[in-house]
């Protein structure tokens, strides 16, 4: 795997845009660190799945999207939310189960959705989002909209029947969906190596007669380029499968003894941390100075502290709301 960023920088990646991308990657990392801390202290209940280590994949893909493009996300979805432009204060509120959270405290980490910005939601069911992405693309087609759907899922989900059914249906109807498998090498404790008889998961695309490509998901620019190309392709030709190779730094969910992987392996991947890699490239290319980059890092830290402050001061939902929102009028 290449440790160096591709150096080709497209003109739309202005200094401003790249600053925002770097900020979002850092916000994601800080968000995850904060949530990990909350859980280690037992300050929130339930469970959560952190995407620390996978930021380039989530933010790099979403950097190609505007508000009317759609995404479906997964249980490991905080990066997708931030990439799609969510309000971090209200996202933190949802995590803490507060009334002004995205789901009024009824969803939690695994169900954050922001329909106003095209985020159709995280999902507690592995592979659950793929059919929904296909349906969302049907809407785009029926309404003749020039947008796409990005469907995120994991290397575990790629073995669900819903993957096969969804990619096949999208392929015959040439629906504008980019299927992005974030291959973080494990589905809970089950490694991709043990669960599949193939090394390169992108070969599965050929079963559906669509293009498939494997990318370094820890390389922001590579992800950005691949999704940019896929977006142009999907709009006219239909779906594409991208395998974004990455790694989660934390355990599967809040509790995880890491019995299924070695310290050495974790360290190897930590050397490929997407955040310092992006920083190094931004400095090398003289897009941002060290001082500017430090400023962004400080900003990201402050944003998450502010979100914690906001969420901590938010009210809990009243028990009177428990029966609300089951049915629409």
Partner 1 sequence: MREITYAEAIREAMTLEMRRDPDVFFFGEDIGLYGGAFGVSVGMFEEFGEERVRDTPISEAVLVGAAAGAAVTGTRPIVEIQFSDFITIGMDQLVNQAAKMRYMFGGRAQVPMVLRTPAGSGTGAAAQHSQSLEAWYAHVPGLKLVIPSTPYDAKGLLISAIRDNNPVVFMEQKLLYRRKGEVPEESYTVPLSKSDVKREGRDLTIVTYGRMVPTCIEIADEMSAKDGVEIEIVDPRTLRPLDAEPIIASAKKTGRVLIVHEAVQFGGYGGEIAAIIADSEAFYYLDAPIRRLGGLDIPIPYNPELERNAVPTPERIRETIQGLLA
Binds 157, which of partner 1, ligand TPP, Mg ion, none (CB < 5 to 8 A, cut-off by type)? ligand TPP
- Using DSSP's 3-state secondary structure scheme, residue 19 falls into helix
One residue of 97, 154, 217, 238 binding ligand TPP per CB under 6 A: 154
Any bridge partners for residue 151, and if so which?
Answer: 72, 179
Q: Which residues of 173-203 are buried (b: 16+ CB within 10 A; e: fewer)?
A: eebbbbbbbbbbbbbeeeebeeeeeeeebbe
Sequence-ordered list of residues with C-beta below 8 angstroms from that of 278, at least 6 positions apart, any chain: 5, 21, 22, 25, 56, 220
Establish if 55 lies at the interface with ligand TPP (CB under 6 A): no
Establish if 156 lies at the interface with ligand TPP (CB under 6 A): yes
**Alpha-carbon span 183 to 192, nearest angstrom:** 8
Sequence-ordered list of residues with C-beta below 8 angstroms from that of 136, at least 6 positions apart, any chain: 70, 72, 120, 149
One residue of 63, 157, 230, 300 binding ligand TPP per CB under 6 A: 157
Binds 262, which of ligand TPP, partner 1, Mg ion, none (CB < 5 to 8 A, cut-off by type)? none
Per CB under 6 A, the segment of 70-78, 98-106, 169-177, 317-325 that binds ligand TPP is 70-78
Query: What is the Cβ-side half-sphere exposure of residue 187, based on CA atoms within 13 angstroms?
Result: 19
Binds 173, which of ligand TPP, partner 1, Mg ion, none (CB < 5 to 8 A, cut-off by type)? partner 1
To Mg ion, the closest distance from the beta carbon of 41 in angstroms equals 26
Structure tokens at 239: 């779906």
Q: Which is nearer to ligand TPP, 18 or 243 (CB)?
A: 243
Per CB under 6 A, the segment of 4-12, 119-127, 144-152, 291-299 that binds ligand TPP is 119-127
Establish if 184 lies at the interface with ligand TPP (CB under 6 A): yes
One residue of 188, 196, 266, 287 binding ligand TPP per CB under 6 A: 188
**Alpha-carbon span 232 to 241, nearest angstrom:** 14
Q: Which is nearer to ligand TPP, 125 or 172 (CB)?
A: 125
Q: Which is nearer to ligand TPP, 21 or 110 (CB)?
A: 110
Strand order in the sheet with 212-216: 70-72, 149-154, 177-183, 240-245, 212-216
Residues within window 162-181 making contact with ligand TPP, judged by CB under 6 A: none
The residue ranges that bind partner 1 (CB under 8 A) are: 70, 72, 101-107, 111, 113, 115, 120-121, 123-125, 128, 130-143, 161-162, 165-166, 168-169, 172-173, 324-329
Sequence-ordered list of residues with C-beta below 8 angstroms from that of 265, at least 6 positions apart, any chain: none
One residue of 29, 75, 84, 250 binding ligand TPP per CB under 6 A: 75
List Cα–Cα distances, 272 to 220, 233, 265, in angstroms.
Answer: 11, 29, 11
* φ/ψ bin of 321: left (φ > 0), alpha (ψ from -120 to 50), beta (otherwise): alpha
Establish if 194 lies at the interface with ligand TPP (CB under 6 A): no
- Residue ranges binding Mg ion (CB under 5 A): 154-155, 184, 187
Chain residues in the site for ligand TPP (CB under 6 A): 49, 74-76, 124-126, 154-157, 184, 186-188, 252
């Amino acid at each position: 795997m290449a440790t160096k960023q591709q150096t080709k920088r497209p003109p739309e990646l202005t200094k401003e845009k790249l600053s925002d991308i770097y900020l979002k990657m850092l916000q994601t990392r800080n968000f995850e660190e904060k949530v990990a801390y909350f859980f280690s202290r037992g300050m929130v209940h339930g469970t959560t799945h952190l995407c620390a280590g996978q930021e380039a994949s989530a933010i790099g893909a979403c950097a190609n999207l505007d508000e009317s493009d759609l995404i479906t996300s997964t249980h490991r979805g905080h990066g997708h939310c931030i990439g799609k432009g969510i309000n971090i204060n209200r996202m933190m509120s949802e995590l803490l189960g507060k009334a002004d959270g995205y789901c009024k405290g009824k969803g939690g980490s695994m169900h954050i959705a922001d329909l106003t910005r095209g985020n159709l939601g995280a999902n507690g069911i592995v592979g659950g989002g793929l059919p929904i992405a296909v349906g969302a693309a049907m809407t785009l087609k029926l309404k003749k909209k020039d947008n796409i759907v990005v469907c995120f899922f994991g290397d575990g989900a790629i073995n669900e029947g819903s993957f096969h059914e969804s990619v096949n249906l999208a392929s015959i109807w040439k629906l504008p969906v980019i299927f992005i498998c974030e291959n973080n090498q494990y589905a809970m404790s089950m490694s991709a190596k043990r669960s599949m008889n193939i090394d390169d998961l992108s070969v599965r695309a050929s079963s559906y007669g669509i293009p498939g490509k494997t990318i370094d998901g820890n390389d922001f620019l590579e992800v950005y380029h691949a999704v940019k190309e896929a977006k142009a392709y999907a709009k006219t030709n239909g779906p594409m499968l991208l395998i974004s190779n990455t790694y989660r730094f934390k355990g599967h969910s809040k509790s995880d003894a890491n019995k299924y992987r070695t310290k050495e392996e974790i360290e190897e991947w930590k050397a490929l941390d997407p955040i310092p890699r992006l920083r190094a490239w931004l400095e090398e290319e003289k897009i941002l100075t060290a001082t500017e980059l430090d400023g962004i890092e400080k900003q990201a830290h402050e944003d998450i502290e502010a979100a914690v402050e906001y969420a901590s001061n938010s009210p809990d939902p009243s028990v009177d709301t428990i029966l609300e929102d089951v049915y629409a009028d």
